[in-house]
Structure 1
Amino acid sequence: MTRKTADITRSKAPRKASTDDGAVRVPAPGEGKRGEDGYLGYLLRQAHAAVRLTMERTLADLGVTSPQFAVLTMLKAYPGLSGADVARLTFLTPQTVGVIIRNLERDGAIVMTPHPVHGRIQQWTLTARGTTLLKACRERVIALEKRLAEGLDARAEASIRRWLANIATELQDDQA
């Protein structure tokens, strides 16, 4: 194994900020590597974590989690999906989707019908209760999305949406 040269491993900024008592201070979002100097992948993950936590808190009193919201959203957009299809679209494991589907079915938000040709494939669709629940969730999530787009004009927002979609498109082959 070759050793990296000092100019590659040495950071231009101090590696850690200390407090008066010598303890290391973790930078806040937006500072240091958690800000504009950070890696794009890290910044995307940090933003996703912040959005997901805010969404969890926003939907909590409705009894809906972010993954459940994602499942409901995909079933509204694409009725009749199988559990495997839902897992792929929501970036969740099939096991997680199985639990979510069982809970949503138990709560009367979705219903299963057998596939017309392949009877072993279960297709899922929203019920009237599921549609009403999703509508209540969506109102709150739209408010969150408006916060996310605050300060962006339509052109900037479209550019960011295009950039994010292009990332997924360009890197999809790496996911196989």
Structure 2
Amino acid sequence: MSRKTNVAKSQTGRKAVAAGAVHVPAPGEGKRGEQGYLGYLLRQAHAAVRLTMERTLADLGVTSPQFAVLTMLNAYPGLSGADVARLTFLTPQTVSVIIRNLERDGAIVMTPHPIHGRIQQWTLTPRGATLLKTCRQRVLELEKRLARNLDSKAETTIRRWLAGIAAELQED
């Protein structure tokens, strides 16, 4: 049994379904909206935030993962690469590349652990702190945009809910 599909060729040579095409909902519609699974909606929101952040930081030569690494090293100086990977939800291999690039650019510096000399600890340099400050100003604008329709009580509730999800599901 064969199924016939109406297909038209575009000018670029790609095939496009001319009739019977499925409507792909935009964000906020159908299962991509309030009817969707919470996990999917969280992932969709994360993807949108990450893309916007990438665009916001692109001219500084900083990616979202690099921003996360700089942020965690600023908050917790002296972290090992493994600690950074856990805190940023990145693989150790990815963090290794990010750390190598940030070190090459003079944004971070390595010092050996005072007891376990084989463990490398990372801290921001003054250049890294300045870069992070510039990035953070832009990211705070994005955060304001995310929360613009929330009052402080709603924002606190959402922050508590999101942090609670991470804490609760960490046990699984």
Give the TM-score, by structure 2 length: 0.89
Q: Are residues 1:99 and 2:62 paired?
A: no
Give the AA of the match of 1:75.
Answer: L
Aligned to 1:166: 164
In the other structure, the counterpart of 1:51 is 49
Runs of 4+ aligned structure 1 residues displaced above 4 Å come to none
CA-CA distance at 1:21 after TM superposition: 2.7
Offset at 1:173? 1.4
**1:148 paired residue number:** 146
Match of 1:38 among 36, 39, 48: 36
The number of residue pairs the alignment matches comes to 156
Map of 1:26 onto structure 2: 24
Query: Within the alignment, does 1:123 sit opposite 2:121 as a pair?
Result: yes
Structure 1 unmatched runs, 5+: 1-18
In the aligned structure 2, how far is the partner of 1:106 from the partner of 1:56?
21
Distance in structure 2 (CA, Å) of the matches to 1:71 and 1:151: 29
CA distance in 1, matches of 2:46, 2:149: 19
Q: Which residue of 2 aligns with 1:67?
A: 65
Aligned with 2:122: secondary structure?
strand
Match for residue 83 of structure 2 among 58, 82, 85: 85
Q: Identity over the aligned pairs, expressed in percent?
A: 85
Secondary structure of 1:64's aligned partner: coil
Q: CA deviation at 1:37?
A: 0.2
- Separation of aligned partners in 1, 2:19 and 2:74: 54
Q: How large is the Cα RMSD of the aligned pairs? A: 1.1
Letter in 2 for 1:59: L
